[in-house]
Chain A
């Protein structure tokens, strides 16, 4: 199911050259910002929850997820070099699974780890806030990576659609239409975080059971469908 060579190639495509620096700029900004906030406001649980929830989980994790998820397969399909990979005696599902693992790993390292650090800087893990949001970031990393990897195989404009989902659907519609929150990776992961934190600082609109079921379902279905798409992939010319 897991192929180290494909993993190495994907990893290099994602982090090779200057890309790791650009991916690393976002988490760095979060940590710097946390330090600034700590200096201005001091250790405050509500502030920490706002910053981690508003900036880390709502903006940074989806963006890193889009970059890592679509970047794991999108460019290869785009420039046609994916045929060299597909012509190797590897199962398509193996390729997708390996790329998913790498995308999840990259998303976790560049989003969950900084979230934990930022949380520790902000209030030293008071009320378990840092850990709760880190767990949320870890869980949503998996779902986002699977979802955006699927988008990468389906559409040439995967990045745009991924961003439309992450920013317009989750952020804009989620804040205006309460019903949209039920169908949002962010809220599902918050449900898990709520369980971890236990307090009332981390809240979600979705129950834990629903959230877990939906998270697992989305991840598995997206991965299966991505594998299915890759099996019947037709290479289109550049528009």
Chain B
């Protein structure tokens, strides 16, 4: 709507001549979906992203492959149980995740940086915080999404085992109790692993470096603890075996479920913690989960500002 001026004015334009024209933009006055909705969206997007849904075909390969690798042994065990008419499953529900801990570690290592590192690297975190969500919502959504993804990964093979066991006409009450114990165990495992993975991944914007760091923490601590336990066991220092187990995520879950969830331990010689030591295990696991949450909140308090 600029007025055509045949000749430029010799004097500079005065302040009172400048104005903002109303060109008809209208403000939005419909319903706003708010904080909870944004958090839920972030949660579902992150959960789908953890399995590559809604992302490129290439990024579906690894999570889906690991998911299949988790489930195939369960299917084979069921086939064996049905074919040979075993009286019991060849592996306990609680032991299953411990056997396949390498696969779970790889999954968390590949997906935790996917969930948070890319947001840091492409500086999308400030965009999230320009929505109604706050730091706590972001952290909770990401944490819940990754824990849910891990739960899906670890609980699905248990479900396969359970359904198979019922089809094989194993004892219903026994199987249900064991299945429930297995579910409690993998819930704790999911929360613990997701927390550790996210804390490490949120420290670096580099995806590759995050993956290596997570896997290093998971496998090196497990390797170191197992080695120390084996040495302590052969040196007849059996009493110290459960205490050493406190220092790696996998053995923490192993010890906890041995003490309280009726599992048989993978520790050398099967020397799991008793109820007294088990209480320490529970405290450490819950403490670690809380610490991871706290660290994440601290990490994101200033991000993107």
A interface list, Cβ under 8 A from B: 19, 22, 26, 29, 33, 36-37, 40-41, 47, 50-51, 54-55, 58-60, 63, 66-67, 70-71, 74-75, 78, 156-160, 163-164, 167-168, 171-172, 238-239
- The answer to whether B220 and A29 touch across the interface, beta carbons within 8 angstroms, is yes
- The answer to whether B212 and A41 touch across the interface, beta carbons within 8 angstroms, is no
B231: Cβ under 8 A from any A Cβ: yes
Question: Which of B55-63, B127-135, B167-175 participates in binding chain A?
Answer: B55-63
- The answer to whether B212 and A163 touch across the interface, beta carbons within 8 angstroms, is yes
**Least distance between B55 CB and chain A CB atoms (Å):** 7
Pick the residue among B56, B106, B219 that contacts A59 (CB under 8 A).
B219
- The answer to whether B215 and A54 touch across the interface, beta carbons within 8 angstroms, is no
Which residues on A sit within 8 Å (CB–CB) of B232? 40
CB nearest neighbor in A for B235: A41
B209: Cβ under 8 A from any A Cβ: yes
- The answer to whether B231 and A157 touch across the interface, beta carbons within 8 angstroms, is no
- The answer to whether B208 and A37 touch across the interface, beta carbons within 8 angstroms, is no
Pick the residue among A41, A55, A71 that contacts B208 (CB under 8 A).
A71
Distance between Cα atoms of A60 and B102 in the complex (Å): 15
- The answer to whether A67 and B212 touch across the interface, beta carbons within 8 angstroms, is yes
- The answer to whether A239 and B227 touch across the interface, beta carbons within 8 angstroms, is no
Which residues on A sit within 8 Å (CB–CB) of B234? 41, 47
Which residues on A sit within 8 Å (CB–CB) of B206? 75
B interface list, Cβ under 8 A from A: 55-56, 58-59, 62, 102-103, 106, 109-110, 122, 206-209, 211-213, 215-216, 219-220, 223-224, 227-228, 230-232, 234-235, 237
**Least distance between B230 CB and chain A CB atoms (Å):** 7
- The answer to whether B213 and A22 touch across the interface, beta carbons within 8 angstroms, is yes
Which residues on A sit within 8 Å (CB–CB) of B102? 167-168, 171-172
- The answer to whether A66 and B212 touch across the interface, beta carbons within 8 angstroms, is yes
- The answer to whether A239 and B220 touch across the interface, beta carbons within 8 angstroms, is no
Which residues on A sit within 8 Å (CB–CB) of B231? 37, 40-41, 47, 50-51
- Additional A-B contacts beyond A41-B234, A55-B223, A239-B59 (19; CB < 8 A): A33-B224, A33-B227, A37-B227, A50-B230, A50-B231, A51-B227, A55-B220, A58-B223, A63-B215, A75-B206, A78-B208, A160-B106, A163-B215, A167-B106, A167-B219, A168-B102, A168-B103, A172-B102, A239-B56
Which residues on B sit within 8 Å (CB–CB) of A50? 227, 230-231
Distance between Cα atoms of A66 and B219 in the complex (Å): 14
Pick the residue among B55, B110, B122, B228 that contacts A33 (CB under 8 A).
B228
A-B contact pairs, 7 of them (CB 8 A): A22-B213, A37-B227, A40-B231, A41-B231, A75-B206, A78-B208, A163-B109
Distance between Cα atoms of A33 and B226 in the complex (Å): 12
A163/B106 contact (C-beta < 8 A), A36-B228, A37-B231, A78-B208 known: yes
CB nearest neighbor in A for B62: A160
- The answer to whether B59 and A55 touch across the interface, beta carbons within 8 angstroms, is no
**Least distance between A65 CB and chain B CB atoms (Å):** 10
**Least distance between A237 CB and chain B CB atoms (Å):** 11
CB nearest neighbor in B for A68: B212
CB nearest neighbor in A for B122: A238
Pick the residue among B211, B219, B230 that contacts A159 (CB under 8 A).
B211
Which residues on B sit within 8 Å (CB–CB) of A55? 220, 223-224, 227
Q: Which one of A50, A78, A163 has the highest number of Cβ atoms from chain B below 10 Å of its Cβ?
A: A163
- The answer to whether A163 and B211 touch across the interface, beta carbons within 8 angstroms, is yes
- The answer to whether A54 and B219 touch across the interface, beta carbons within 8 angstroms, is no
- The answer to whether B208 and A40 touch across the interface, beta carbons within 8 angstroms, is no
A71/B209 contact (C-beta < 8 A), A41-B235, A47-B231, A59-B219 known: yes
- The answer to whether A168 and B219 touch across the interface, beta carbons within 8 angstroms, is no
Which residues on A sit within 8 Å (CB–CB) of B220? 26, 29, 55, 59-60, 63
Distance between Cα atoms of A53 and B169 in the complex (Å): 45
**Least distance between A231 CB and chain B CB atoms (Å):** 23
Distance between Cα atoms of A193 and B130 in the complex (Å): 58
CB nearest neighbor in B for A51: B227
Which residues on A sit within 8 Å (CB–CB) of B122? 238
Which residues on A sit within 8 Å (CB–CB) of B212? 63, 66-67, 159, 163
